[in-house]
Amino acid sequence: MTSRSQKSFEMRVQVEAALAEYMHAIASDRLEEWPSYFIETGRYRVMTRENRDQNLPLCLMICEGHGMMHDRIIALRTANIFEPHVYCHIPGALRITENTLTSVSSESTFVVMRTMSDGATSIFACGRSFDHFVKKDDGLKIADRLVVLDSRQIDTLLVIPI
Amino acid sequence: MQLSQSAPERSWNWPAGEFTRVPFAVYTDAEIYALEQKRLFQGPTWNFLGLDIEVPNAGDYKLTHVGDAPVIMVRTREGAVNALLNRCAHKGAVVCYKPRGNVQEFNCVYHNWVYDLGGKLTGVAFKKGVGGKGGVGPEFEPDDHSLRALRVETYKGLVFGSFSDETPPFAEYLGAELLKAIDRVFIKPLKVLGYHSQVLPNNWKLYAENNKDSYHASLLHVFHNTFGVVRPNMGGGIKISPSGWHHLSYTERSAPNDDETGREKVRSLKDQYKLHDPALMEHRLELGDLITNSIQTVFPNLIVQQILNCLAVRQIVPRGLDRAELVWTVLGFADDTPDMVELRLKANNLVGPAGFISMEDGCVGGFVQRAAKADPNAMTIMPMGGKAIEPSQGSRVTEAAVRGFWKAWRSCMHM
């Protein structure tokens, strides 16, 4: 393998590992850790494919910075009413779309299965995520994560971040 | 089709004029659902279809629903907005299946029957047969086979459709006071910021009632109470149309006062919950008053929402007995600055399927639906604010507007 393709392979592995840590934290209900996967001023958005394709800016969830992310988790824990459920987030095909000295961007398909407390499992969401990471000394941190849902329909509600 | 109320499984006692009690069967009975399509959605009602800004140019169309009937909303070459039942006059296939677009005419893919933008049949493939054989007979009159057109009325850019000639003009249907409430929000040209929908595991009426129910707002929605968006002792009130069918609930900005709510030991008041980033709650006054929260319903399927700077219309689409789709169209004004758009997008965190305030409305209907079928002949009770369907100043602790919904429903359904 050439040095360049070796570096490219390593970066791909790092991105996969970073996304895997993120998904496992959510799946294990370590939601208070969720903001820590982002830089302080990081942005998180969930939007529909329909809106993105039509260049409409509306998001289902938008968090700009750690403050808004913490608020999402605190609201989930203390204010919002919903039946308990868990996600099984299955990452799909990953592409690295840009790799510079300081940052790396990726795009990945995904499926989230949701299981309710009565045991019913359903396909809750699928689509693609677009992630832009900065390369920190302690690893990759998300500067911008855009989750694009293929469907415009949310079953009942969306409260746990994807 | 007559509903057999003497059947043993339908033994509720529901006297005429009774709107404080409703049999659970209305949410669980398949025959009632079918009758609603005919008597209510295709009856003397104005059903919200969409916004005229969604079809700006001739040939632009959008697919929508009246009840669960598929309808095409389309801009004609003459500049009017038409609404056509999306069902080919031939075999009944949907004539149009892509959710939006621009067409010269409607061309049913099944047998290539063609309709103009007014729904008139202009082409039938092989009408005269082939080689002198086949085709339709001489008695075939194309003008008898148009797409069924709805009556359409547009008010401040909101497009409504009705299947019935008995429906009064929209201004009379809604009443002058609630027309002004629409005027209050739709002050200048709009633009669409985006769409999404929430699929609710409940009969459509449970969501319709929820929006007319100002009683629950400060109780179910913890976020409301804690952050002063709505507290039961803020200024505001309920307005109800002369018919009782439509309503407006609004809350005005005032300093939060905890005393009265504290006495109720309200679950939702949690002092320790503070936002890390209160920019979410920033409210730039733009409608000429201090109203922070305004929810307006137009029976049967429209809600107009202003929550801080988040403006939206919500359309209720029944999707079967125990399923409803709530379609959100989130709006801004065409002349919004980029940072005004940013503010609206942030405020939208409060509403929609992931809304800090609205998400609970997604699941609470399901809580009612799953228990309702246990005994369909039992009655729900809605006694808050008495028995009347009357407006109230100040207090929003009332179910008057919900009783108004049932008045409308019983009237349309002849039940």
Report the predicted TM-score, pTM, of the whole model to 2 decimal places: 0.92
Q: Does residue A46 fall inside a structural domain?
A: yes
CB spacing of B193 vs A58 below 8 angstroms: yes
Distance in angstroms between the alpha carbons of the first and the last residue of chain B: 13
Mutate to test the interface with A, among B272, B277, B328 (most CBs of A within 10 A): B277
Pairwise CB contact (< 8 Å): B354 & A66: no
* Minimal CA separation from A26 to chain B, in Å: 17
Domain count, chain A: 1
Instruction: Kindly tell me the number of DSSP H helices and DSSP E strands found in chain A.
Output: 3, 7
B96 and B194 belong to one structural domain: no
Q: Where are the alpha helices (DSSP H) in B252-330?
A: 259-263
Confidence (pLDDT) at B257: 41
Q: Going along B260-322, which residue ranges are E strands?
A: 291-298, 302-307, 310-318
CATH code (residue B70): 2.102.10.10
Looking at the 3D structure of chain B, how many domains does it have? 2
Confirm if B304 and B296 have CB atoms less than 8 A apart.
Answer: yes
**Which residues in chain B come in under a pLDDT of 50?**
1, 255-269
> Taking CB atoms and an 8 Å limit, are A68 and B353 in contact across chains?
no
Chain B residues within 8 A of A56 when measuring between CB atoms: 192-195
pLDDT at B226: 63
The reply to whether A115 falls in a domain is: yes
For A46, which residue in chain B has the nearest alpha carbon?
A: B354
- Position A149 scores a pLDDT of 98
Q: Which domain holds residue B130?
A: 47-153
pLDDT given at position B228? 57
pLDDT of residue B307: 92
Per DSSP, the three-state class of B131 is coil
CB contact under 8 A, B223 and A65: no
Let me know if residue B30 belongs to a domain: no
Please name which of B216, B297, B281 lies closest in space to residue B249, comparing C-alpha atoms.
B297
pLDDT of B262 reads 40
Backbone phi, psi, residue B407, to 5°: -60, -45
Predicted complex ipTM = 0.95
Q: Is position A154 within any domain? A: no
Contact A71 B199 (CB under 8 A): no
Whether B33 is in a domain gets the answer no
Residue A159 lies in a domain: no
Q: Is A158 a domain residue?
A: no
pLDDT (0 to 100) of residue B5: 57
| Claim to verify: residue B140 and residue B218 sit in the same structural domain | no
Structure tokens at B82: 């038409």
Return the pLDDT at B149.
97
User: Which of B194, B199, B223 is the closest to A58 by Cβ?
Assistant: B194
Domain containing A64 equals: 3-149
- B261 shares a domain with B114: no
Tell me the C-alpha distance between B232 and B254, whole Å: 11
d(CA B253, CA B251): 7
Residues B285 and B406 both lie in one domain:
yes
Where chain A has pLDDT below 50, the residues are none
Query: H helices of chain A, where?
Result: 3-27, 49-53, 66-78
**Distance in Å, alpha carbon of B193 to nearest chain A alpha carbon:** 5
Which amino acid, B129? G
CATH, residue B325: 3.90.380.10
Q: Which of A61, A154, A155 sits opposite B349 (nearest CB)?
A: A61
The closest alpha carbon to B318, from B204, B177, B185, belongs to B204
Provide the CATH number for the domain around residue A34: 3.10.450.50
Q: Could you tell me whether strands B81-85 and B69-75 are parallel, antiparallel, or unpaired per DSSP bridges?
A: antiparallel
Copy the structure tokens of residue B363.
């699941």
CA distance B178 to B240: 8
CA distances to A25, A28, A46, A130 from A127, rounded to whole Å, are 20, 22, 11, 10
Distance of CA B96 to the CA centre of its chain: 23
* A-proximal residues of B, 197-216, CB under 8 Å: 197-201
Residue A110 within a domain: yes
pLDDT of residue A115: 97
